[in-house]
Chain A
Amino acid sequence: MTSPLLTVNNLRTSFRSDRGTVRAVDGVSFTLNRGEILGLVGESGSGKSMTAMSIMRLIPEPPGSVEADELRFDGIDLLALSERQMLDVRAARIAMIFQDPMRSLNPVLSVGRQLTETLRRHLALDGAAARRRAIELLEMVGIPMAKSRLGAYPHEFSGGMRQRVMIAIALSCNPSLLIADEATTALDVTVQAQIVDLIKTLVKDIGASVIWISHDLGLVANLCDRVNVMYAGRIVESGPIRDVFYRPSHGYTLGLMSCTPRIDLVGERLRPIEGLPPDLSRPMTLCPFLPRCAHSVDRCRTERPALIEEQPAHWASCFADLTGSWRQTT
């Protein structure tokens, strides 16, 4: 067995604010294998984006602070790298795409220029070769008339097309890891379907691994091999996609599934998760989900559950026995 592409061990990211230290990521550990698509799901403030930003070392320090027992990417200790070395890793080895492509693209530079710049800097291509490669890339992400659109500016593209450009830039240096942070959230469903298909085929072609960050359980079900469910800065459940979706083992995962309206099911009343997520600036000694949990047991009120392997490869930090609480779809 080969070593994992990415190993994250006990990642802790915190911010100093006027209300005290906010633990945005609070002891997250996971591994990502080569060629794997890993989902990170959770609601806003759950720490899923912060986890990605921490891995990319994009957290401004101060006010932030990123610590980890291990943060290893393809044999490289990311925490030991200088800012310069990290710049190279970010450009060529780990690529990231965001929710809002308009903000990630420079509005005063043509799309072709932004693409070729990356290519020239990181792949040391000359002008003509970079241009050829840029056209290839745009064609690859399904932009019609790629050649004539090299000179176009970001605002001349639709939202879906801009996200395609972002993907082209992200994949231009054949990265081994692609981090997509809510990459399709701002897009319409029909365009989202196109982009998801595109990412699926492209990463298979270049053999990249993906961390897919989303709040949309449906997308994760479609795309991912494994999923980490995050809540209040921690991974509360982790496992192969089918195990987590068909046998949710944490009260939060179960709650999330029960409150999501589904297009394939006849409308029964939704079962919302009552209350609000916890304030991350306060110390937590019990399960962070306890105040909102509908399945808590006595033990939840006395000690904090650890993340344990309940089934092979299926981890959860929950004392409640949730067997049978979720409809078995298959």
Chain B
Amino acid sequence: MTSPLLQVENLCVSFPGTGGARVRAVDGVSFTIERGKTLGLVGESGCGKSTTGYSLLQLIKPTSGRVIVDGIDIASLSRREMRPYRRRLQIIFQDAAASLDPRMSVGDLIGEALDIHGLARGTARLPRIRKLLDLVGIPARLLQRFPHELSGGQAQRVAICRALAVEPMLIVCDEPVSALDVSIQAQIINLMQDLQKELGLAYLFISHDLSVVRHISDRIAVMYLGRIVETADKHEIFGSAAHPYTKALLSAVPVPDPDMERTRERIVLRGDLPSPANPPSGCRFRTRCPVPIDDCAQIDPPWKTLSETHHAACIRIQGIPETSLFEGVRY
């Protein structure tokens, strides 16, 4: 068996909060990503999913934990030692236009990525830039454009192109389509899927939109308040979600089908996300959980293995739930 492309072990990130308390934005997160596969990381705002993505790339230094790429723990590397590994891991952002220096043209932006790692110099440079732009469907006539002259979809294509220029193995995608209109969103999702097939890329796809995540992911990890509460292959999450939070999340996603919308059962959670500076004792979800018991406040729920690929952290899980949230739909 080959080792996974990326292995994250017990990753913790904390920030200094108000009054000396440390805010544990990411609190012991572990997962692996296989070559050419997509892990969807879902959760609501403030659950630490973006921080997880940033700390994988060492853009935020993890407080503790290991990030293993090719057998090397990059979390322990110095800034200088880290630089060659930056080529392996890339990132794209929600606001693509803001991720491009406003003073640089499309051609210069892609060229810079090549220059940083000394790829394609001299006469090989321009043809390489054109080829890369072609790969993401940006016509060559946009080469001289500046970021503010691009539409949202075009800007995201250029951002993807810039990431691809350094030939990464994994791209962390931080809500890459959330700011786009659905028609453009579909174009970008399809592009990302095509690129994955063509180049064997792996994605960490961070999003709050479960419909999109379901569409693009192979595996899914659900985060709540700095922890992963459930992780499983896609069909397992959508077919037999075990954690009450995952169930609530799934049931809250609107479906563009009036009859199903009006008949399906909805688990409406109470209240808001507690502050990560002061998380509830025991299970962090218990304050909003529809089915809490007394033990939940005492026991930090251990991982339960539901199948080889399906794990969830909830003391109330007995077996694999069988009922589907969407009746009549096969998974």
Contact = CB atoms under 8 A, between A and B. Distances in A.
A–B contact via C-beta, under 8 angstroms: yes
Interface residues of A, number: 49
Contact of B261 (A197, A221, A267): A221
A305 B272 CA distance: 48
A124 to B, nearest CB: 35
B311 to A, nearest CB: 21
A241 B258 contact: yes
Chain B binding surface SS class? helix
Given A189-B253, A215-B181, A222-B254, A272 B187 contact: yes
Interface string A225-242: 000000000000000011
A255 B186 CA distance: 11
A267 B214 contact: yes
Interface string A180-205: 00000000111111100100000000
B219 interface: no
A193 B182 contact: no
Given A158-B272, A267-B214, A218 B253 contact: yes
Contact of B254 (A219, A256, A265, A266): A219
A233 to B, nearest CB: 15
Contact of A272 (B190, B215, B268, B272): B190
A263 B269 contact: no
Contact of B189 (A158, A215, A262, A270): A270
Nearest to B262: A222
Contacts of A269: 190, 193
Interface in B204-250: 208-212, 214-216, 238, 248-250
Nearest to A241: B258
Given A256-B182, A261-B186, A270-B189, A276 B255 contact: no
Contacts of B212: 261
A320 interface: no
A256 B272 contact: no
7 contacts: A189-B208, A193-B268, A194-B269, A215-B182, A259-B185, A261-B212, A263-B210
Given A261-B215, A263-B211, A276-B153, A330 B259 contact: yes
A176 to B, nearest CB: 25
Nearest 8 Cβ contacts at the A-B interface: A218-B254, A272-B186, A217-B256, A259-B186, A273-B183, A188-B44, A43-B181, A193-B252
B256 A270 contact: no
Contacts of B3: none
Interface residues of B, number: 49
A50 to B, nearest CB: 16
Interface string B145-187: 0000001010000000000000000000000000001111111
A148 interface: no
B257 interface: yes
B326 interface: yes
A143 B329 CA distance: 37
Interface in B97-152: 151
B273 interface: yes
| Residue of B216, B258, B259, B271 with most chain A CB atoms under a 10 A cut-off | B258
A130 to B, nearest CB: 27
B186 A222 contact: no
A274 B256 contact: no
